[in-house]
């Protein structure tokens, strides 16, 4: 029996040798773990949000996430565009609130690992990112006053809000809106993606466990070699969450694909990060981490907003998205212009260098991939996902919440 196992071990270890990763690639692969990262544990609270990790706030947030009364027409909730069964994203290329939005709804799994929020990073906290959709007139068209009234008058919501903040009924409308947004953030912090086939491979590589490594499909191994080698993908998609959290230009078509454009009006361009910095730092924005609602004033979380400066090169830059759990969140890119993962890979393969910033970094080059390489890269990207239980956890949180008396 022992001999048999040893023989089987030998066989797999030669299969694991299908791809030879050099020292640089091995170091890069190890850098995409471990998963889950320590920050994912609920004990690591967001210090800018005093309700982060608070069980009643998480329940209140789950209730509010599916609450259409937060919207002006009583029909739109966060869940309209961030659907649990689509990785908390939606299949539409561009979201439709009260009007069509310019951008694709990002998935929300692992959202707590981000530093900037929105494709343009117009917000520097998860809680502030929940305020914009509520009050923006083209999105949900709600208001601070209506949110405050709802928290006071709906029995289960009022019960939860009181547990979270006993004096909440005396808060002014804006403070009540922030309370709602911080509860929404506490809930969204619980959305995390599970370990994947890639994570098993990465840990096996770290442990030099050849049998463990051999369980990772060869196509995914070859795709990983491209990702960490010639593809240079890891230059921007770094770390365990496959994002450096910053902003880049990937040479997508400049003009917005705009079916609503009236004949004779100019084609629109999404300024991306350029505009995001302006919104974040606007003097009239009370919700950034320099404002009075930051529960950790002077803490490290507010360093980025203090130091970020708008530069010409930010024009047309968008946030580097995580690459975990992508199959559920199609279509892709900030404008939803790529229907499938294959389309994204073809974009990087055929890249129009003339469309790229001249003053940006010259990382991206058309990769001119073969059909086999395209399939390998796709197999690798797919190996970064696994079924998650967040939709079921959301439903059970909402059931618990509805019982608050």
CB of 209 to ligand HEC, least distance (A): 26
If the CB atoms of residues 302 and 337 are measured against ligand HEC, the closer one turns out to be 337
Three-state SS at 100: strand
Query: Rounded CA gap, 249 and 375, in Å?
Result: 25
| Contact yes or no for 237/244 (Cβ under 8 A) | yes
CB of 389 to ligand HEC, least distance (A): 20
If the CB atoms of residues 102 and 296 are measured against ligand HEC, the closer one turns out to be 102
Alpha-carbon distance values, 265 to 259, 261, 337 (Å): 12, 7, 22
Angle of the 197-206 helix axis to the 218-228 helix axis, nearest 10: 70
| Contact yes or no for 189/397 (Cβ under 8 A) | no
If the CB atoms of residues 363 and 392 are measured against ligand HEC, the closer one turns out to be 363
Give me 87's structure tokens.
């990785």
Query: Rounded CA gap, 189 and 108, in Å?
Result: 9
If the CB atoms of residues 205 and 328 are measured against ligand HEC, the closer one turns out to be 328
CB of 405 to ligand HEC, least distance (A): 25
CB of 211 to ligand HEC, least distance (A): 28
Characterize 386-404 residue by residue with b for buried, 16 or more Cβ atoms within 10 angstroms of its Cβ, and e for exposed: eebebeeebeebbebbeeb
Query: Rounded CA gap, 124 and 106, in Å?
Result: 16
Nearest to 122, CA basis, from 332, 297, 236, 275: 275
If the CB atoms of residues 111 and 213 are measured against ligand HEC, the closer one turns out to be 111
Q: Which residues bind ligand HEC (CB under 6 A)?
A: 76, 78, 80-82, 95, 97, 101, 103, 105-106, 108, 111, 114, 117-120, 126, 129-130, 133-134, 139-140, 184, 188, 231-233, 235-237, 248, 250, 252, 318, 320-321, 323, 326, 329, 332-334, 341, 344-345, 348, 363-364, 377, 381
CB of 154 to ligand HEC, least distance (A): 16
If the CB atoms of residues 84 and 133 are measured against ligand HEC, the closer one turns out to be 133
Alpha-carbon distance values, 226 to 244, 357, 373 (Å): 19, 24, 8
If the CB atoms of residues 16 and 332 are measured against ligand HEC, the closer one turns out to be 332
If the CB atoms of residues 197 and 345 are measured against ligand HEC, the closer one turns out to be 345
CB of 200 to ligand HEC, least distance (A): 20
CB of 311 to ligand HEC, least distance (A): 16
Tokens 């809000």 sit on residue: 161
Within a 13 Å sphere around the CA of 267, how many CA atoms are in the beta-carbon half? Answer: 8
CB of 87 to ligand HEC, least distance (A): 9
């Amino acid at each position: 029996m022992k001999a048999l196992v040893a023989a089987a071990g030998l066989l797999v270890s030669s299969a694991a040798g299908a791809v030879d990763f050099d020292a640089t690639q091995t170091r890069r692969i190890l850098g995409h773990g471990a998963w889950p990262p320590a920050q994912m544990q609920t004990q690591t609270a967001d210090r800018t949000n005093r309700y982060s990790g608070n069980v009643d706030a998480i329940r209140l947030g789950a209730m509010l996430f599916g609450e259409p009364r937060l919207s002006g027409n009583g029909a739109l909730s966060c869940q309209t565009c961030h659907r649990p069964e689509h990785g908390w994203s939606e299949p539409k290329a561009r979201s439709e609130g009260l009007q069509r939005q310019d951008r694709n709804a990002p998935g929300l799994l692992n959202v707590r690992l981000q530093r900037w929020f929105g494709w343009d990073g117009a917000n520097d906290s998860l809680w502030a990112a929940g305020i914009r959709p509520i009050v923006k007139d083209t999105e949900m068209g709600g208001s601070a006053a209506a949110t405050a009234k709802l928290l006071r008058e709906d029995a289960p919501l009022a019960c939860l809000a009181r547990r979270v903040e006993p004096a909440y009924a005396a808060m002014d409308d804006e403070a009540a809106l922030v309370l709602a947004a911080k509860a929404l953030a506490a809930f969204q912090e619980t959305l995390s993606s599970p370990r994947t086939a890639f994570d098993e491979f990465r840990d096996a590589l770290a442990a030099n466990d050849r049998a463990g490594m051999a369980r990772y499909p060869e196509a995914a191994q070859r795709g990983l070699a491209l990702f960490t080698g010639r593809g240079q993908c890891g230059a921007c998609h770094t770390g365990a969450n496959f994002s450096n959290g910053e902003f880049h230009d990937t040479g997508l078509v400049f003009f917005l694909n705009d079916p609503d454009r009236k004949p004779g009006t100019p084609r629109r361009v999404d300024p991306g990060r350029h505009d995001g910095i302006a919104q974040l730092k606007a003097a009239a924005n009370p919700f950034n981490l320099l404002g009075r609602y930051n529960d950790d004033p002077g803490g490290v979380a507010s360093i980025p907003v203090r130091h970020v400066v708008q530069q010409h090169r930010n024009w047309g830059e968008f946030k580097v998205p995580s690459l975990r759990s992508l199959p559920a969140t199609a279509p892709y890119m900030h404008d939803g212009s790529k229907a499938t993962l294959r389309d994204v890979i073809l974009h990087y393969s055929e890249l129009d260098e003339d469309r790229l910033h001249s003053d940006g970094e010259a990382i991206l080059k058309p990769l001119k991939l073969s059909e086999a390489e395209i399939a390998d890269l796709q197999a690798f990207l797919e190996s970064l996902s696994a079924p998650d239980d967040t939709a079921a956890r959301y439903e059970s949180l909402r059931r618990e919440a509805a019982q608050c008396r």
